[in-house]
Amino acid sequence: MANIMVRKDATGAYSFYLPKRDLEDAIVSMEFDSADRWGGEIRLNNGGAYYIEPQELPGRFPISLRARRLDAPE
């Protein structure tokens, strides 16, 4: 599991930041993106895939979360 940060810009687009690898990229898809269920499988612009435990939509961004990498062993 990795500590990540998710940001949301004024247009509603999400970005992903992984401090350990200094990786910042746009989130191109998210499994769940509603007020009562947010997270799940996310796909990055570079093709990477991570999993965020589904939860209620956070009240404020940026938010720090734990995520599991899906496309490769950790």
Q: Using CA atoms, how far apart are residues 20 and 32, in angstroms rounded to an integer?
A: 25
For the domain that residue 55 is a member of, what is the CATH number?
A: 2.40.50.240
pLDDT by position in tens, the chain (length 74): 899 999 999 999 999 999 999 999 999 999 999 999 999 999 999 999 999 999 999 999 999 999 999 976 54
In-domain check, residue 33: yes
The token pair that represents 38 in the structure block? 């947010």
In-domain check, residue 74: no
Give the pTM.
0.89
Total tally of structural domains belonging to the chain = 1
Q: What residues make up the domain containing 9? A: 2-69
3-state secondary structure the chain: CEEEEEEECCCCCEEEEEHHHCEEEEEEEEEEECCCCEEEEEEECCCCEEEEEEECCCCCCCEEEEEEECCCCC
The token pair that represents 11 in the structure block? 């247009």
